[in-house]
A and B are shown apart, each in its own frame.
Chain A
């Protein structure tokens, strides 16, 4: 390892339209109390029909650059976008974002790791910074899940929101304590069928039949995912802490993927970390998949929760099933 990587700045953007639990009561068979006790959610943001993933990603990137003291747009030498809801099946949303940013001759690509996407992208960015190939990497998590909701499934139709979070990852200056200490990304494909968008890929291409069957929406077996999610996030986090000789007492903040408040509570309990150190934004944004971790970091920075020098854990799990943890000194 030649260099160390750090998070230079983070920004987020969510679409204007807010849909709360009471709005959903009017649209589908659900109620505020049911949603709150099972998920901890209250509001989520939905795009209108003029916005796609790259639009949200662009605005989140602008906010991240604005928040940085040192980085300008022209410094960016790689773009990684984590998403399962790209503007088009191809090209990569990262390339569309690259054009919007007016950047040329740098690598730009998407990665698909479900809700763990931002953690995966951060792990990749870390490698490129550490080996000296890149100096300033834009990592974006963006999702437009409101378009994938199966309104006939009351178990999942309340869970998802839209949004984007962007982070600028830079080479750590020699006099700075901020750096990504360690990260681990992993996957277990055994149970991939528990969480997926059924149609629209090469297995079941779009057809009148797939549309009729409502197969272009999110399918999830929530109760099974719940248990796997708790085990995955607490397990990989414990492993990363252990191999760095970091005790849970040393952790200032945990930013978990915002899928369900009760998953977050169970992870906290398993890791023996008080809920006061788990950062929760699920009530405001619901589950925004790969955007949830960077949005939550961005909100925590704006609220002066996370400060420079704090020991922070980021952890997520998602479709695949993928999961991972990043340990860093902010």
Chain B
């Protein structure tokens, strides 16, 4: 499974949103209805799934679906 598909799957699972809503530009909080803890939990899911560490300062910048995908692709071991 490629990164984009997996990221979308994790978002769908965590935020309980329809697949069609998870477009690249969708913002987690404003568009997908995440609260502040959801975003923390989502980052933790990414870290677990892709076996990586996302520092707090970087995590704060990941506000959209595409930003998350780009970060993971770039930093994957």
Q: Which A residues contact B (CB, under 8 angstroms)?
A: 37-38, 223-224, 226-227, 230, 260, 262, 266
Query: What chain B residues lie within 8 Å of A226 (beta carbons)?
Result: 37, 40
Is B19 engaged at the interface, CB distance under 8 Å to the other chain?
no
Is B35 engaged at the interface, CB distance under 8 Å to the other chain?
yes
Q: Are B37 and A38 in contact, CB atoms less than 8 angstroms apart?
A: yes
Separation of A266 and B56 alpha carbons in the complex (Å): 18
Residues of B within 8 Å of A, CB-based: how many? 9
Is B51 engaged at the interface, CB distance under 8 Å to the other chain?
no
Cβ proximity bits B18-62 to A, threshold 8 Å, 1 near / 0 not: 000000000000000001110111011000000000001000000
Closest chain-A Cβ to B13's Cβ sits at a distance in Å of 11
Q: Are A262 and B36 in contact, CB atoms less than 8 angstroms apart?
A: no
With known contacts A262-B41, A266-B41, A223–B36 Cβ distance under 8 A? yes
Separation of A226 and B59 alpha carbons in the complex (Å): 14
Q: Are A262 and B44 in contact, CB atoms less than 8 angstroms apart?
A: no
Closest chain-A Cβ to B32's Cβ sits at a distance in Å of 15
Q: Are A262 and B56 in contact, CB atoms less than 8 angstroms apart?
A: no
Separation of A151 and B12 alpha carbons in the complex (Å): 35
Closest chain-B Cβ to A261's Cβ sits at a distance in Å of 10
Query: What chain A residues lie within 8 Å of B39 (beta carbons)?
Result: 223
Q: Which B residues contact A (CB, under 8 angstroms)?
A: 35-37, 39-41, 43-44, 56
| Sample of 11 A–B contacts (CB below 8 Å) | A37-B35, A38-B35, A223-B36, A223-B39, A224-B56, A227-B43, A227-B44, A230-B44, A262-B37, A266-B41, A266-B44
Query: What chain A residues lie within 8 Å of B37 (beta carbons)?
Result: 38, 223, 226, 260, 262
Query: What chain A residues lie within 8 Å of B56 (beta carbons)?
Result: 224
Separation of A312 and B19 alpha carbons in the complex (Å): 40
- Most chain A beta-carbon contacts within 10 A, residue among B35, B40, B56: B40
Q: Are B35 and A223 in contact, CB atoms less than 8 angstroms apart?
A: no
Separation of A226 and B56 alpha carbons in the complex (Å): 12
Query: What chain B residues lie within 8 Å of A230 (beta carbons)?
Result: 44
Closest chain-B Cβ to A246's Cβ sits at a distance in Å of 23
Separation of A224 and B60 alpha carbons in the complex (Å): 11
Least CB separation from B39: chain A residue? A223
Closest chain-B Cβ to A142's Cβ sits at a distance in Å of 28
Given contacts A223-B40, A226-B40, A266-B44, 11 further A-B contacts (CB under 8 A): A37-B35, A38-B35, A38-B37, A223-B36, A223-B39, A226-B37, A227-B43, A227-B44, A260-B37, A262-B41, A266-B41
